[in-house]
Amino acid sequence: MEMGILGLPQSGKSTLFEIMTGTKSSASHTETCARGQAAVPDERFDQLVEIYHPAKVSPAKVPFVDVHAVGEHPWEAVRQNLSGTDAILHVIDGFSLPDVQLCIDSYRKLEDELIFSDLLIIEKKLERLVKMSKKALSPQDAIQVELLPKLKDVLEANKPIRSAELNEAEVFSLRSFSFWTVKPELVVINVAEDNMALADAFAAEAKLAEPVMGICCKIEAELAGLDAADQKEFLASLGIAEPAFGRIIREAFSLLGRISFFTVGEDEVKAWVIPKDTKAPKAAGAIHNDFERGFIKAEVMHFNDFLACGKSAAGVKAAGRMRLEGKEYIVQDGDIITFRFNI
């Protein structure tokens, strides 16, 4: 699970990467690439930490990848380092381009590159498939013979592959391709502090299916350098409830199709990251393979029940809201779980 950050030069993408991850992009990359983890802001997790006072705290995190597209072949550097990511965060310069249409043009410039790249992949694959006899086609090839021309039409209409309505079999058949525009995308406008409404204006004018968020990286960089108390005071002076980068991280987490469940205790409070619709044994495996192999039951209480029942497991049990779930239970975001297993 990784989210790649894309943006034209001077868009502020590397600054945003540093704000979210606390990692200096220029100091951490080997040649062209920087990787960092951003903690997902979660009030539930913070409350659990306050209640248990654990020796160790481990919040949910989102891995981000930032690429320095420099040299003679910048697009090749981007391709090599971001083609394996699961989603894209597209940063647009609204700081030096404080006009909606200029921002839309900037968005389209990079988006067109991604669409063109996917179009080339499809055309090359179709050339090979056309030369093959029907008997030589694998089941996957047979699906692609029908699907790829449809996706070619979508791309030629200047639309991303993710806009096509694909069924499960079709999505599976595309796994071997490094398509850009099949990935979920989050659009972030880096605005000037006196032009905070630009992101909303962009969203209204561009009418994208993708989520659009705004951030002033200049203000957020100042915030990131403050301790928690000073951050609150600074935000209050601006009339802002929380930093924008926190909202962006949460949106990225959701876009990646992830949720978190908690394990709690005096030793550690931890948010475990799993895909949505994960069954209990597989969730147990996120902690340790032995938990999955020897899974018996999951003792589950939801955070909301925990909060409503005196902030204690005993209170949840007394209220009859503690549950024993089996192998078919689908773990929910905010579950607090103790796994029972035997090897």
Question: What CATH topology corresponds to 99-182?
Answer: DNA polymerase; domain 1 (1.10.150)
Sheet with strand 56-58: strands edge to edge: 56-58, 268-275, 258-263, 335-341, 295-302, 323-325
Q: Are strands 335-341 and 185-191 parallel, antiparallel or unpaired?
A: unpaired
CATH domain 1-41+60-95+184-258 topology: Rossmann fold (3.40.50)
pLDDT value for 250: 96
The residue type of 229 is: A
With a cut of 70, say whether residue 164 has pLDDT above it. Answer: yes
Instruction: Measure the CA–CA gap between 262 and 37, rounded to whole angstroms.
Output: 19
Q: Can you tell me the mean pLDDT for 260-265?
A: 97
Task: Look at the block and give the residue holding tokens 């909301």.
Answer: 304
Q: Is the pLDDT of residue 145 over 70?
A: yes
Residue 70: per-residue pLDDT: 54
The CA distances from residue 110 to 4, 47, 91, in Å, are: 14, 41, 10
pLDDT above 90 covers a percentage of the chain that reads 70
Q: Is the pTM for the entire model greater than 0.75?
A: yes
* Integer CA distances (angstroms), 182 to 3, 162, 319, in order: 13, 4, 46
State the Cα–Cα distance between residues 336 and 322, nearest whole angstrom: 10
Going from N- to C-terminal start, the domains of the chain cover 1-41+60-95+184-258, 99-182, 277-341
Distance CA 125, CA 174 (A): 12
Query: What is the C-alpha to C-alpha distance for residues 158 and 336, in angstroms, rounded to an integer?
Result: 45
Quick one: pLDDT at residue 73? 55
Q: Could you tell me how far CA 267 lies from the centroid of its own chain? A: 29
- CATH for 277-341, options being 3.10.20.30, 3.60.20.10, 3.20.20.80, 1.10.357.10: 3.10.20.30
Q: Cβ-count burial of 72 within 10 angstroms (0-12 exposed, 13-18 middle, 19+ buried)?
A: exposed
Q: Which two tokens stand for residue 74?
A: 């910048």
pLDDT band at 181; cut points 50, 70, 90: very high
- 3: closest CA among 161, 166, 211? 211
- The single residue listed with the structure tokens 């449809």 is 150
pLDDT score of 231:
83
pLDDT at 28: 46
pLDDT in tens, 15-56: 999 999 988 766 444 557 889 999 999 999 999 999 999 999
